[in-house]
Amino acid sequence: MAGSRFTTRPESVLEDPGARAVATLYAESFLSAAATNNTPSAPEELSSFLTDVLAQFPEFRDVLLSDFAGRDEKLKIISRVIAPRCSEFFANFLRVLVRHGRMELLPVINEVVVRLQETAAGRQRVKVRSARSLTTKARADIVAALNARFGFDPILEESIDPQLLGGVVLQIGDTVFDSSLRSRLKALQGRLVEKTFNEIQSRRDRFSHPEGD
């Protein structure tokens, strides 16, 4: 089996709303417990564990996050390999995840922890789609407009969508603000179609009701 990779759970599981809801509960409990136990570095320790350990050693990641290793084996790995190199708080958090069969949610938990910290600091991520790369001025204008309207410091997550033709589409959570040229053209087309339909209907009405009847 040398060089083989163990199969972790499908990414679709991690993207499932139910799984994300569970991850959110763990993330909230993680932050609350860290504050209660006076362990402010816990979020950084979680992030570092993912980026500096699991990402650098994929086979080790596969063993911890997959179903290949059983609960008892994972607990032994935590005690022998991880616990001596991390805080007692973090090691206990990993043990809780293992005992509840939730280790595969660790990347999502970290993502939620980051979002919660950003929100607590008055920051919020905003997805921005544009037909071409934003200029420095356009980016600054968007940030200023969002801050003035919503009162938070936006973190822009930019992507390019040539089909938009021009303008931008902003998404804050589940709310989408579409000011793209494509959207405006569709709206204009809809109004023209409606106007044409109304004119045709008006003519039909005149023909069906001749004057003098």
**Mean pLDDT (10-residue bins), the chain, 213 residues:** 39 68 95 94 96 94 88 95 95 96 94 93 90 90 90 91 81 82 54 55 59 51
DSSP-assigned beta bridge partners for residue 172: 175
Q: Does residue 162 lie in a domain region?
A: yes
H or E element: which one contains 142?
helix 136-150
Find where tokens 């599981």 sit: 13
Task: Give the dihedral of Cα atoms 22, 31, 54, 71; nearest 10 deg.
Answer: -60
For the chain, give the number of residues. 213
Q: Pick the last residue of a domain from 117, 141, 161.
A: 117
Taking phi over 0 as left and psi of -120 to 50 as alpha, with beta for the rest, 96 belongs to alpha
Q: Does residue 89 lie in a domain region?
A: yes
Rg of the chain taking only CA atoms, in angstroms: 27
- At residue 61, the pLDDT reads 93
- At residue 83, the pLDDT reads 96
Q: Does residue 53 lie in a domain region?
A: yes
Per the structure block, which two tokens stand in for 39? 């362990």
Q: Does residue 110 lie in a domain region?
A: yes
Domain of residue 109: give its range: 11-117
- At residue 203, the pLDDT reads 57
| AA letter at 127 | K
Per DSSP (E only), the strands in the chain are: 123-130, 153-160, 168-172, 175-178
Residues 110 and 153 in one domain: no
Q: Pick the last residue of a domain from 117, 151, 182.
A: 117
Distance between CA atoms of 115 and 120, rounded to whole angstroms? 9
Q: Pick the last residue of a domain from 70, 94, 117.
A: 117
